[in-house]
A and B are shown apart, each in its own frame.
Chain A
């Protein structure tokens, strides 16, 4: 549905003669089906490459830009995602397109406090034990501050992973955290491995969303949950106009001023407009085999969390 064959016209190349000729010959050689890169028409291979370059370019300023563009609200959205997930200690999470680790770190914080509460409850039940026995039980539990929970951060982009690892080191996250280079369309994991699969602000950049959803289904255990946090469609007409104005007038300027990169952020706002709206994405998730698929709008649909279960 998303990568439908479109008439070959790249919006940007309409007037520039040389550019048009180049795009024409590229299309002539086009080896794959056509898809979109923002508002341009490109082949699937070109799109993957361009998106790789976008994230390679923005990696170092990714977090700063997220805070500037959303005025810090993206943190709340991610908090809501992890709260909705409500992971218990012992959960195995796969965070795809997890790049700089925002979801992974929140997951770790969540299970750590859940674990602490668990231990506190255990302690209350142990009030009849001797001091010695209590301190011995501390030794056991200390080594499992996360209670066997683990998160695997998977991203296709080396630069984003690099930034994520540096952040983890800087913030002191090490236990229960792994970093894997991988493609959402073809995950390097075995079937039925994970309890939860998340993809936050990543699925928009995947070229074949259907494949990514199929892979998500494959690597989840039966009973596992799929969670997707992504920009979506705003229904409210007034808000929609303000949102468009802000997106197209302010965000590329922020990209230029803060990251020195107008084009990547122009791509970002265009890709949001190109992404399927809530109901369409829900249908795609159901097509991949998930049950009880539902979505929750945040901020009137600027962002939506889609959820599904593998039964």
Chain B
């Protein structure tokens, strides 16, 4: 038997010909890139990655790449679920077909900045500038073994900043935890659930109190009430006022 592995063969030893190597890879099956940046992994590797990234993310909350990896390796149930929700919704279906990306290169920042206050576009740009973040810092998926699901998780990551805007939450630890609670209810991604549960351990008691009494209940209620956030074609709604979009989705006004 061979040692099973993710992306390449261990048995190609010391100058064996390329043909033999290729044959071995053929037999192994599923060991090739499905999309740029894809790293095929075995179930054992995914399990180790999930455990390792969870520990590392707790140990060093600034390792955003670890949070991303955790999401990818544990999302095998939630992601198909989300994809199906998108497929069954007209706007979501269009998003899956057209695959829009939210990136500085695709956004017309000048135009968005020029929109009236209170519109999604204007408030989104304000959020980016106030918190000094950029949509380009989102990690591309590596360990998702399905090209469409890779897009779904990518879309979820890129929409995250819009969630901050719609929920009115800043990018500090408290704000992130609140958004995680909302996303946990909305997407069911284990990474969101873990983040929501363990994120608060690093907060002060005062903040924890506010979190527990006001913010989290509101986030949960909104999450439950709202329709799937991935089913909104945000790029076509920059002119829509935030209030109106909130009502449409079903997000209650922030406390």
Determine if chain A interacts with chain B. Answer: yes
Residues of A that sit less than 8 Å from B by CB: 1-2, 4, 6-7, 9, 11-12, 14-16, 19, 38-39, 41, 233, 241, 244-245, 247-250, 252-254, 256-258, 260, 262-263, 266, 269-270, 273-277, 280
Q: How far is the CB of B108 from chain A (nearest CB, A)?
A: 28
Q: How far is the CB of A61 from chain B (nearest CB, A)?
A: 12
Q: How far is the CB of B17 from chain A (nearest CB, A)?
A: 7
Alpha-carbon separation in the docked complex, A250 to B3 (Å): 12
Is A260 touching B33 in the complex (CB atoms < 8 A)? no
Residues of A close to B130: CB separation below 8 A = none
Of A4, A15, A16, A253, the residue contacting B45 (CB under 8 A) is A253
Type the 1/0 row for B30-53, where 1 means its CB is closer than 8 Å to any CB of A: 001100100100101100110011
Residues of B close to A16: CB separation below 8 A = 32-33, 36
Q: Which 3 A-B pairs have the closest CB atoms?
A: A257-B52, A248-B5, A15-B32
> How many residue pairs between the two chains, A and B, have CB atoms under 8 Å in the bound complex?
102
Name the residue of chain A whose CB is nearest to the CB of B139. A260
Interface residues in B50-75 by Cβ distance below 8 A to A read 52-53, 55-56, 63, 65-66, 69
Is B14 touching A276 in the complex (CB atoms < 8 A)? yes
Alpha-carbon separation in the docked complex, A257 to B63 (Å): 9
Q: How far is the CB of B151 from chain A (nearest CB, A)?
A: 16
Is A7 touching B48 in the complex (CB atoms < 8 A)? no
Total interface residues in chain B, CB < 8 Å: 37
24 CB contacts below 8 A, A to B, read A2-B15, A7-B19, A11-B22, A14-B32, A15-B32, A19-B33, A41-B18, A244-B10, A245-B3, A248-B5, A249-B5, A249-B6, A249-B45, A252-B6, A253-B49, A254-B52, A257-B56, A257-B69, A260-B65, A262-B39, A263-B39, A270-B8, A273-B12, A274-B13
Residues of B that sit less than 8 Å from A by CB: 3-15, 17-19, 21-22, 25, 32-33, 36, 39, 42, 44-45, 48-49, 52-53, 55-56, 63, 65-66, 69, 142
Q: How far is the CB of B153 from chain A (nearest CB, A)?
A: 17
Is A249 touching B42 in the complex (CB atoms < 8 A)? yes
Alpha-carbon separation in the docked complex, A247 to B12 (Å): 14
Q: A277 and B142 in contact (CB under 8 A), knowing A19-B33, A253-B48, A260-B63?
A: no
Q: Which residue, B8, B11, B25, B55, has most C-beta atoms of chain A within 10 A?
A: B8
Alpha-carbon separation in the docked complex, A252 to B10 (Å): 13
Q: How far is the CB of A50 from chain B (nearest CB, A)?
A: 15
Further 7 A-B residue pairs, CB within 8 A, beyond A12-B33, A277-B13: A12-B32, A19-B36, A244-B5, A248-B10, A252-B45, A256-B53, A262-B39
Is B14 touching A233 in the complex (CB atoms < 8 A)? yes
Q: A11 and B8 in contact (CB under 8 A), knowing A253-B48, A257-B53, A260-B65?
A: yes
